[in-house]
C-alpha cells in the first residue's frame, strides 16, 4: 500500500512522450476549436494565465521607467520612504537578483533565457498541472523576462528598493515576483510529494480530448434522444390511430361488443364503429 501512494518517477521516455503528446493536444485544440462550452472554458484558462503573464512584465517595466525618472533624475538617486525601514535607491545591477553574481551579465542573460524557455515549454506541454504549480511558474518566468529586457537593452538591471533596517541587497519588482513565485512553487512541490494524488495519470492528449469531447458527447446524446422522441411523435401523428374499448360486462344476455375507432389524418376518412357479437357476426356503422 505504501508503494502505491508514492509518486511515479519521470524517466526521459516519459518526459518525451508527455512533451510530444502535449504539443499534439495543444495544436489539435486550436485546429479543432469551436465556440462551445468545452473549448471556451479551456480558452478562458489560457487567457487568464496569458493576461497575468503580460501584466507582470508590463507592470515591472513601467515601474522601472517611472522610478528611474522619479528617483534618479528628479531626486538624485535616493528617497526615504519609511525612515529606518525602506528607501528608494537607484542601483545598476550587472548580476542576478538581489545583487548576486556581479559583472556576469552575458552568462546570466543566457541562463535566464534558457530557464524562461524551459518554463514556458513546461506550461504548454504539462497543462494539467495544478494552479499552485502553474501560477508560480508564470510569476518566475514573467519576472525573469522583465529583468532580461533590462539586461539585453541596457547591459544591467535597474534596482530601486532598499531595506535600511538590515543589510540586504537592493531589488526591484521583478525580483519580488521571481522570489515569491519560487517560494510558492517549492511549497506546492512539497505538498505534491507529501500528499500525492491517488488518481492515475493519463496522457495529456487523452485528457485534452476527454475534456473537450466530454460535454460534446453529452450534448450529442441529448440531441439524439430529442430527435428520436420527435421522430416517434411524428410517426404516431402520421399513422392511423386505433382505439379498442370493450363493452361493460355483468348484464346477463347482453352482447359483447368491441368498438374500433379508425382515424386517418391524410385521407380524412370518417371513423368506423365495428360491433362484434357473441355469434361471430360483424356489424359496422359509419358516417
Q: Which residues are catalytic?
A: 159, 175
C-alpha cell at 242: 386505433
Q: Can you name the residues that pair with 78 across neighbouring β-strands?
A: 89
Contact 49, 134 (CB under 8 A): yes
Amino acid at each position: 500500500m505504501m508503494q502505491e501512494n508514492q509518486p511515479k518517477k519521470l524517466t526521459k521516455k516519459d518526459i518525451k512522450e508527455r512533451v510530444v503528446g502535449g504539443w499534439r493536444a495543444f495544436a489539435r485544440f486550436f485546429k479543432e476549436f469551436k465556440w462551445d462550452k468545452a473549448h471556451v472554458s479551456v480558452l478562458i484558462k489560457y487567457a487568464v494565465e496569458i493576461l497575468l503573464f503580460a501584466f507582470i512584465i508590463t507592470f515591472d517595466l513601467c515601474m522601472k521607467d517611472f522610478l528611474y525618472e522619479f528617483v534618479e533624475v528628479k531626486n538624485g538617486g535616493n528617497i526615504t520612504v519609511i525612515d529606518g525601514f525602506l528607501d528608494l535607491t537607484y542601483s545598476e545591477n550587472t548580476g542576478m537578483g538581489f545583487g548576486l553574481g556581479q559583472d556576469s551579465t552575458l552568462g546570466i542573460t543566457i541562463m535566464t533565457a534558457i530557464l524562461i524557455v524551459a518554463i514556458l515549454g513546461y506550461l504548454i506541454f504539462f497543462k494539467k498541472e495544478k494552479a499552485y504549480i502553474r501560477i508560480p511558474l508564470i510569476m518566475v518566468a514573467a519576472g525573469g523576462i522583465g529583468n532580461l529586457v533590462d539586461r539585453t537593452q541596457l547591459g544591467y538591471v535597474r534596482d530601486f528598493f532598499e531595506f535600511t533596517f538590515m543589510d540586504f541587497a537592493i531589488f526591484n519588482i521583478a525580483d519580488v515576483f521571481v522570489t515569491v513565485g519560487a517560494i510558492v512553487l517549492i511549497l506546492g512541490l512539497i505538498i505534491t510529494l507529501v500528499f500525492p494524488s491517488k488518481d492515475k495519470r493519463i496522457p495529456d492528449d487523452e485528457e485534452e480530448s476527454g475534456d473537450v469531447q466530454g460535454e460534446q458527447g453529452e450534448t450529442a446524446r441529448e440531441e439524439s434522444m430529442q430527435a428520436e422522441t420527435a421522430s416517434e411523435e411524428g410517426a404516431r401523428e402520421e399513422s392511423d390511430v386505433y382505439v379498442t374499448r370493450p363493452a361493460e360486462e355483468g348484464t346477463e344476455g347482453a352482447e359483447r361488443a368491441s368498438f374500433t375507432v379508425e382515424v386517418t389524418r391524410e385521407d380524412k376518412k370518417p371513423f368506423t364503429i365495428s360491433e362484434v357479437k357473441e355469434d361471430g357476426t360483424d356489424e359496422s356503422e359509419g358516417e
